[in-house]
Homo-oligomer: A and B are copies of this chain.
Amino acid sequence: MAISTTETHYFIQGRIWIDSDKGPFLGFGRIQLLKKIREYGSISQAAKSMEMSYRQAWQLIESINLKAPQPLVIKTTGGKGGGGALVTEAGENMIATYEALDQAFLEFLEMKSKELKL
């Protein structure tokens, strides 16, 4: 049977993040940034690859490190290549934790979207 193309379709969307009592901690964008830093070994390269300003990327990392139990990114200045940034093991664990959470959330959204009857 054909489905009418004039009908509006609906779906459920959302965002999820981790807050701390010090303020916003980790969301989708920050995790994406962490992964890019892991990939490139530098904040500036990561920012460029995401079409984000270096300034903003740096601030995000600063904010993350301030709220994390231990630093998630270690930054080095000067030296060979001018320095760089690398994701710590605590950072890796955080990425994994967030991605598991996000996956569960996606499944929740999908389930609720299917249940949705307007």
Residues on the B chain within 8 Å of A19, using CB: 10-13
The segment from A42-50, A57-65, A81-89, A97-105 found at the interface with B is: A97-105
Given contacts A11-B18, A16-B13, A67-B8, contact A104 B112 (CB under 8 A): yes
With most chain B CB atoms within 10 A of its CB, the pick from A11, A12, A69, A101 is A12
Copy count, this protein chain: 2
Given contacts A10-B18, A94-B118, 7 further A-B contacts (CB under 8 A): A10-B19, A11-B19, A12-B17, A12-B19, A14-B17, A16-B109, A18-B116
Q: Which A residues form the contact surface with B (CB < 8 A)?
A: 8-22, 25, 67, 69, 94, 97, 101, 104-105, 108-109, 112, 116-118
